[in-house]
Amino acid sequence: MTERKVTWLELFFDLIFVTAVASTTHLLLSVDNHPDKTAAYFGEYLLMVTPMFWAWVGQTMFFNRFGEKIKWPELYMLSQMFFLILMTASFDLTFSNTYYTFLIGYLGIRFITVIQYFVISKQLTGNAQKVALLLGSVFLLGVLTTATSVFFEGFARYLVMYLGIAVDIILPLFLAKTLRKVPVDFPHLAERFGLFVIITFGESIVAITTILVGHTLDLYTICYTLLGFLIICTLWASYFYSFEKIVDHHKVTHGQFLIYGHFFIIVSVMLLAVNLHLLFEGHLQRDVLLLLLFSSVAVFFISKQFVFAAHKKAEVSFSFWKDALLLLLLVGLFFVNLYINLPLFVSFVSIWICALVDLGLQFGTSRSVRM
């Protein structure tokens, strides 16, 4: 079986999501001007990131299973890109201002995905046809539920809108047995998610670069940026080393562990980028930002290990106790930094030490496949 390559169309599609990731990160940075609304802004941030991620996942999963069979994929994906531009432009922490355009953007993307499933089902037979019709029907239910939010006002409107998105996200979990009959092209799908992770790490680099702008001769700022860069590089190395050495790229799977695990990986990296910037500005409560910083790294560690353990090579074995000790080290360092008034550099060094330990664990885990 020849290895399937990511197409230029898929890469162009991802380009729009670079803008979407940057837009959501920029919005969250505006919490610096409203310290009293920190919790609310982080909550709204997750409400924007989730449909953005799911819009990308929906089209990526369709294209992975059926993209080589459908005619004129450009017609569908380029149309989705326009709706994504509209959706991205509607990201606003005062959501009532842009509700309608956000809704149109999201529904446009998802409805085009639904159309593709029903169109391709006419060309398929057997289990493939069954899966295409099933996913098309489930996603149509989610789209229609989200669309009915226009008939409500106030809090009920957003509750119904996100109920529809939740239907979209959660129902496929109950279809694992059926979806396994038409497995994903795992090497292609893993590469697609790897590219999305690269996008989020890239946004982290942008976040620390903006810190340095206008302060290139300030030693403190340079050292702060360097530490942030070392943290990002070490986490990146840990992810992609595991990706290359530990993951079985020939695994037959429905892809759901990869999908849902990567949601937490991607969100944690995006939150890390924001926290690096906000901690430097120093306008928000330090305790809250330290909690978010250490929590985002903890979520990254846990979700990464979950994804790679679910798709590991047969000869690879993970040590639960080593991973647990790493998390205990991270938690311990968090409390040390929280209750002792230490310089911010100490917090960064603490995170970097944990990242280095994690990278070392990945080297140890992959020893059996390197020998």
Concatenate the DSSP letters of all residues of 293-344 into one string.
HHHHHHHHHHHHHHHHHHTB-TT----HHHHHHHHHHHHHHHHHHHHS---H
Is the pLDDT reported for residue 113 higher than 70?
A: yes
Tens digits of per-residue pLDDT, 2-33? 667 888 999 999 988 888 888 888 777 777 66
Q: What is the mean pLDDT of residues 304-333?
A: 89
Is the pLDDT reported for residue 299 higher than 90?
A: yes
Q: What is the mean pLDDT of residues 35-48?
A: 76
pLDDT reported for residue 362: 87
Poorest-confidence range of 184-198, 238-252, 273-287? 273-287
pLDDT reported for residue 356: 95
Residue 317: pLDDT band (50, 70, 90) is confident
Q: What is the mean pLDDT of residues 263-283?
A: 87
CB 106 within 8 A of CB 80: no
Tens digits of per-residue pLDDT, 166-207? 999 999 999 888 999 999 999 999 999 999 999 999 989 988
Q: What is the mean pLDDT of residues 358-369?
A: 79
H or E stretch covering 285: none
pLDDT reported for residue 79: 95
Q: Token pair 């229609």 is at which residue?
A: 144
pLDDT reported for residue 253: 86
pLDDT mean across residues, the chain: 88
Strand-pairing partners, residue 312, are: 247
pLDDT reported for residue 368: 61
Residue 212 CB-half CA count within 13 A: 16
Task: Give the phi and the psi of residue 140 in degrees, each rounded to 5.
Answer: -65, -40
| CA separation, residue 253 to residues 60, 88, 177, 314 (Å) | 15, 32, 10, 15
pLDDT reported for residue 110: 96
pLDDT reported for residue 278: 83
Poorest-confidence range of 86-90, 275-279, 345-349? 275-279
Between residues 72 and 35, the one the model is more confident about: 72
The SS3 call for residue 247 is: strand
Q: What is the mean pLDDT of residues 140-168?
A: 92
- Other beta carbons within 10 angstroms of residue 136's beta carbon come to 20
Tens digits of per-residue pLDDT, 334-352? 999 988 888 888 999 999 9
pLDDT reported for residue 328: 96
Between residues 257 and 39, the one the model is more confident about: 257
Predicted structure pTM score: 0.91
Is the pLDDT reported for residue 34 higher than 80?
A: no
pLDDT reported for residue 194: 92
pLDDT reported for residue 154: 85
